Amino acid sequence: SIALPTPQCDLNKIIIAGGEYSLTNGIDVGSTVQYICPEGKYPHPSYTQECLPNGQWLKQKEKPECKAVQCPRPAMFESGEFYPRKVRYFVGDVLEFECWGGFKMFGPEYRTCQPNGKWSGENTICDDQEGDCPNPGIPLGGRKIGTSYKIEKKVKYECELGMKMFGSKERVCKEDKSWSGAEPSCRYWYTFDTPKEVAEGFSASISETIEASDPDRVEDQAYRAIKVQTGGLMNIFIIMDASKSVGEDNFNITKNASVSFIETMASYDFTPRYAVISYASFAKPAVLLANHDSTDAEAVIERIKNLKYSEHEDKQGTNTSAALHEVRKMLSLEEKRDHKKFMETRNVILLMTDGKYQITDGKYNMGGDPNLEMKYIKQMLDIEKNVAREDYLDVYVFGLGEETDENEINELASKKHPEKHVFKLNSTHGIKEAFDEMLGKKLYISSFPTVMIEFFPIAKEDVQEKYPWIAKITIARERSQEKCKGSIVSKFFILTAAHCFYINDSLHAISVSVGDKTFKVKNLYRHEKYDPAGKQDKKVPNSFDYDVALIELEKNIEFSRKIRPICLPCTMGTSWALKQRGKPVKCSDHLQTLLSGELVKAMFVAEEKEKALQRKNVLIKQGNQRLACLDDTKKIERFKDIPDIKDAVTDNFLCTGGIKPEVDPQTCKGDSGGPLVVPFKRRYIQVGIISWGTINSCNGSKRKHEPVPALSRDFHTDVSRMLDWLKEKLKEEGLEFLD
């Protein structure tokens, strides 16, 4: 018999006007077309096409074309006016809002239509402030039913035809005079969140979610925080879509994002339990809550890295319901083991999916309605009937891809004002970009002030936010002004160099700047053994040994995302940053981790222009490499007559500088007292205090463009050798120094 030719689809049917396309497998059956349009346009009627077994494209009735992106038209605006009034609004169009007399404007006066189909800024609201709750506003493209803002009164929302809603369709004015649920928004099917928007929204919400605070603390109603005590109880479920529509490359991206998330969580002073589930037609747990190592972040990460896309042999389905059923099974087991503990445990679900739950006839892809499983989970946690328990479950849903079912991911996600729990990206690569955007972004968690938390580098990050532990010190003298740096080590203390201060400097002449605030000095403590003239009998003209000082401030520093203390070695907080916990940890363990090897990567922060802090990478020289530091110092003219160079360069100093194995940047005037820092897995630990150098080839605080002199060496007071003194001076600061 003659084999029938394999059906193929017509290439001419998929050419898109004004855009480009790519094919996964030519025009063979099963091949997928991906359309790409210029910024500000979207592919109509869809982002993708698929070649069906009958040789037809899935959606070939309409000719593909790139159309201009529109933003939602205001359908209803209360107690004010907006201009201009148009039938359609395109990218770059600007709306201006105005409130009637007696009404105050909240939100932006102007909003711009953006290339992703969203208006810039938050909702603009005109409010007479006479209700118990504030006016909740109306999303552009939507309508609100209900005008009473008294306690227990409801408002309902609906979107104009052709748009879908993110957020809550109904909100209630609560007794605390805030609205239930999440602020709604109306979107066209092609609207998406940019990676930057996802990074900002997710990091803001998750920082509230993982806030570790006093369980008796009264929360500000403008913010919510899950209250997890030190060593508290939290379950984190990571669910990754491995269906055919996601594909192997995109699945690997979600794996990498999950690893970054866990690495950050591992920095906090509590130990969550993890569960990891991948799913396609069926769900496959990789880590169970009940596993003995479910609290071991490194073990969980290793299991995620070992996940194989090929483990899901049948990848036709997106059975999100099965994945949530696995979550419910694990929770059920925990409830049976210890009901009291179960009810005290907070739960976070992180779901990354392309959200293709439904097919054209309205039936679920497979496995049934995932919202039913979510309902059962809420019932188990007593959330359905008890609103006060909402904080015991946070569900974050990332819709990956243009054809995500907006209704489904919105229904699954938590809705808590003013946070965002649901995001739609236009590709799976978007979540990688979002997590990259958050890499290096610091989350301030008030209960862990001694640990520098970096969360998922920002292209244009605020300088103070990038180096939140830097303090600037100014000493005013009769005819001059001395400038030094320091590091924040607690709310009242700045660590710096003793040589910055003269013995006759008065306290009122010293000021400390942190961020945009200036602090007066209550006291100055210089190490008792610091004596510049103390080694002249050994021909050391000016000794810097024990060059360390602490400044005590009159008022405490208020920590925030931009202002935070640095990690010091041999403290409990740094044990968490170094992931050395769950066993007795000694100071020597920290030093072995931070300062092992002859060359240790480190950095300091320089300021060649005002308010322009720059990171300078250097290598700490140890062992035989440190001997070269001594040899080069001995060759400097002012040190040649010192019989034993170790009297000048004692063991209390760390050495950087030189041109081998690579050129290290020099420290300059104004850098003195600043921290020498060792980065460790996106945490920064101070190991030294900038003290002195052999050669000054700077112009003030600026480094010359000419080559660094070969004999240039910089020396930094070794913090680890000053610990006894620091323990004594900082004993009331709660740093918990190790033995």
Catalytic residues: 499, 547, 672
Is the distance from CB of 604 to CB of 489 less than 8 angstroms? no
Read off the DSSP letter of residue 676. E
Query: What is the Cα–Cα distance from 566 to 680, expressed in whole angstroms?
Result: 13
Helix (H), strand (E) counts: the chain? 13, 39
Read off the DSSP letter of residue 28. B
Query: What is the Cα–Cα distance from 652 to 518, expressed in whole angstroms?
Result: 32
- Would you list the DSSP string of 710-733? TT-EEEEEEGGGGHHHHHHHTTTT
Cα 365 to chain centroid, rounded: 34
Read off the DSSP letter of residue 639. G
Can you state the angle between helices 320-337 and 370-380, rounded to 10 degrees? 10
Tokens of 546: 């024990």
Read off the DSSP letter of residue 200. H
Phi-psi region of 611 (alpha: psi -120 to 50; beta: other; left: phi over 0): left
Query: For the chain, how long is the longest CA-to-CA vector?
Result: 107
Query: What is the Cα–Cα distance from 256 to 326, expressed in whole angstroms?
Result: 22
Task: Give which of 92, 97, 134, 83 is closest to 113, Cα–Cα.
Answer: 92
Q: Give the burial class of 634: count Cβ atoms within 10 A of its Cβ; 0-12 exposed, 13-18 middle, 19 or more buried.
A: middle
Query: What is the Cα–Cα distance from 616 to 716, expressed in whole angstroms?
Result: 15
The angle formed by the CA atoms of residues 336, 338 and 339, to the nearest 5 degrees, is 80
Outline where 210-311 has alpha helix (H): 248-265, 297-305
